[in-house]
Structure 1
Protein backbone atom coordinates (compact mmCIF):
# COMPACT_ATOMS: atom_id res chain seq x y z
CA UNK A 1 0.00 0.00 0.00
CA UNK A 2 2.47 2.57 1.20
CA UNK A 3 6.05 2.97 0.05
CA UNK A 4 7.36 3.69 3.53
CA UNK A 5 9.43 6.87 3.39
CA UNK A 6 10.53 6.40 -0.20
CA UNK A 7 10.28 9.43 -2.48
CA UNK A 8 11.49 8.84 -6.03
CA UNK A 9 14.30 11.06 -7.32
CA UNK A 10 12.28 12.34 -10.28
CA UNK A 11 9.72 13.85 -7.86
CA UNK A 12 12.31 15.58 -5.68
CA UNK A 13 13.58 18.82 -7.26
CA UNK A 14 17.14 19.98 -6.52
CA UNK A 15 15.88 22.97 -4.50
CA UNK A 16 14.30 20.76 -1.88
CA UNK A 17 10.69 20.69 -3.03
CA UNK A 18 8.01 19.75 -0.54
CA UNK A 19 10.39 18.88 2.26
CA UNK A 20 12.74 21.81 1.87
CA UNK A 21 14.03 23.54 5.01
CA UNK A 22 16.49 26.31 4.18
CA UNK A 23 19.61 26.71 6.28
CA UNK A 24 18.45 30.08 7.59
CA UNK A 25 14.83 29.12 8.35
CA UNK A 26 15.20 30.24 11.99
CA UNK A 27 16.32 33.71 10.92
CA UNK A 28 13.55 33.88 8.33
CA UNK A 29 11.01 33.00 10.99
CA UNK A 30 12.37 35.60 13.38
CA UNK A 31 12.28 38.27 10.67
CA UNK A 32 8.68 37.39 9.85
CA UNK A 33 7.66 37.53 13.52
CA UNK A 34 9.51 40.81 14.02
CA UNK A 35 7.70 42.33 11.05
CA UNK A 36 4.38 41.01 12.33
CA UNK A 37 4.84 42.46 15.82
CA UNK A 38 6.13 45.76 14.40
CA UNK A 39 2.96 46.06 12.31
CA UNK A 40 0.76 45.24 15.32
CA UNK A 41 2.61 47.80 17.47
CA UNK A 42 2.32 50.47 14.76
CA UNK A 43 -1.43 49.87 14.43
CA UNK A 44 -1.86 50.01 18.22
CA UNK A 45 0.02 53.30 18.50
CA UNK A 46 -1.94 54.86 15.63
CA UNK A 47 -5.18 53.73 17.23
CA UNK A 48 -4.21 55.28 20.56
CA UNK A 49 -3.37 58.58 18.88
CA UNK A 50 -6.81 58.70 17.27
CA UNK A 51 -8.74 57.88 20.44
CA UNK A 52 -10.62 60.59 22.33
CA UNK A 53 -10.63 60.68 26.11
CA UNK A 54 -13.00 63.32 27.50
CA UNK A 55 -11.29 63.25 30.90
CA UNK A 56 -8.14 64.69 29.39
CA UNK A 57 -9.97 67.04 27.03
CA UNK A 58 -12.09 68.94 29.57
CA UNK A 59 -11.25 70.30 32.99
CA UNK A 60 -13.09 69.15 36.09
CA UNK A 61 -14.65 72.60 36.52
CA UNK A 62 -16.18 72.44 33.06
CA UNK A 63 -17.63 69.00 33.74
CA UNK A 64 -19.10 70.16 37.07
CA UNK A 65 -20.68 73.15 35.34
CA UNK A 66 -22.23 70.88 32.68
CA UNK A 67 -23.52 68.48 35.32
CA UNK A 68 -25.07 71.35 37.27
CA UNK A 69 -26.75 72.68 34.13
CA UNK A 70 -28.06 69.22 33.21
CA UNK A 71 -29.40 68.44 36.69
CA UNK A 72 -33.15 68.88 36.95
CA UNK A 73 -34.25 71.93 38.87
CA UNK A 74 -35.56 71.00 42.30
CA UNK A 75 -39.21 71.80 42.87
CA UNK A 76 -39.98 73.32 46.24
Structure 2
Protein backbone atom coordinates (compact mmCIF):
# COMPACT_ATOMS: atom_id res chain seq x y z
CA UNK A 1 0.00 0.00 0.00
CA UNK A 2 2.81 2.47 0.84
CA UNK A 3 4.53 1.92 -2.51
CA UNK A 4 1.27 2.35 -4.40
CA UNK A 5 0.47 5.48 -2.37
CA UNK A 6 3.95 6.90 -2.97
CA UNK A 7 3.66 6.33 -6.71
CA UNK A 8 0.18 7.86 -6.81
CA UNK A 9 1.25 10.88 -4.78
CA UNK A 10 4.48 11.35 -6.75
CA UNK A 11 2.75 11.23 -10.11
CA UNK A 12 -0.13 13.45 -9.05
CA UNK A 13 -2.69 10.74 -9.74
CA UNK A 14 -6.28 11.52 -8.88
CA UNK A 15 -6.78 10.72 -5.22
CA UNK A 16 -3.02 10.48 -4.66
CA UNK A 17 -3.07 12.81 -1.66
CA UNK A 18 -5.91 10.87 -0.03
CA UNK A 19 -4.18 7.58 -0.76
CA UNK A 20 -0.87 8.79 0.68
CA UNK A 21 -2.60 10.05 3.85
CA UNK A 22 -4.53 6.77 4.21
CA UNK A 23 -1.25 4.85 3.86
CA UNK A 24 0.15 6.80 6.81
CA UNK A 25 2.43 9.31 5.07
CA UNK A 26 2.97 12.46 7.11
CA UNK A 27 1.55 15.58 5.46
CA UNK A 28 4.95 17.22 5.38
CA UNK A 29 6.29 14.30 3.27
CA UNK A 30 3.61 14.64 0.56
CA UNK A 31 3.98 16.89 -2.49
CA UNK A 32 1.10 17.52 -4.90
CA UNK A 33 2.69 17.53 -8.32
CA UNK A 34 0.41 17.46 -11.32
CA UNK A 35 0.51 19.49 -14.53
CA UNK A 36 -3.20 20.31 -14.25
CA UNK A 37 -4.19 20.83 -10.62
CA UNK A 38 -7.80 21.83 -10.07
CA UNK A 39 -8.64 24.71 -7.75
CA UNK A 40 -10.22 22.16 -5.40
CA UNK A 41 -6.97 20.13 -5.30
CA UNK A 42 -4.91 23.26 -4.65
CA UNK A 43 -7.30 24.42 -1.91
CA UNK A 44 -7.25 20.96 -0.26
CA UNK A 45 -3.45 20.78 -0.30
CA UNK A 46 -3.13 24.27 1.17
CA UNK A 47 -5.71 23.51 3.86
CA UNK A 48 -3.93 20.28 4.81
CA UNK A 49 -0.47 21.84 4.78
CA UNK A 50 0.70 19.70 1.85
CA UNK A 51 3.44 21.10 -0.39
CA UNK A 52 2.67 21.96 -4.01
CA UNK A 53 4.85 22.13 -7.10
CA UNK A 54 3.73 25.01 -9.31
CA UNK A 55 4.13 24.14 -12.98
CA UNK A 56 3.81 27.64 -14.42
CA UNK A 57 3.24 31.27 -13.42
CA UNK A 58 -0.53 31.07 -13.93
CA UNK A 59 -0.71 28.16 -11.49
CA UNK A 60 1.45 30.09 -9.03
CA UNK A 61 -1.09 32.93 -9.23
CA UNK A 62 -3.94 30.43 -8.51
CA UNK A 63 -2.05 29.07 -5.51
CA UNK A 64 -1.44 32.59 -4.20
CA UNK A 65 -5.12 33.49 -4.63
CA UNK A 66 -6.30 30.36 -2.80
CA UNK A 67 -3.82 30.21 0.06
CA UNK A 68 -5.07 31.11 3.53
CA UNK A 69 -4.23 34.59 4.77
CA UNK A 70 -1.28 33.81 7.02
CA UNK A 71 2.46 34.26 6.85
CA UNK A 72 3.92 31.93 4.23
CA UNK A 73 7.40 30.51 4.21
CA UNK A 74 8.80 28.39 1.36
CA UNK A 75 9.20 24.75 2.30
CA UNK A 76 12.28 24.08 0.19
CA UNK A 77 15.29 25.60 -1.43
CA UNK A 78 15.03 27.69 -4.54
CA UNK A 79 17.74 27.42 -7.14
Q: Which has the larger radius of gyration?
A: 1
Structure number with greater CO (CA < 8 Å, separation at least 6) is 2
TM bin, normalised by shorter chain, reads: under 0.3
TM-score, normalization by structure 2: 0.20
User: Which structure carries more strand by proportion?
Assistant: 2
TM-score, normalization by structure 1: 0.20
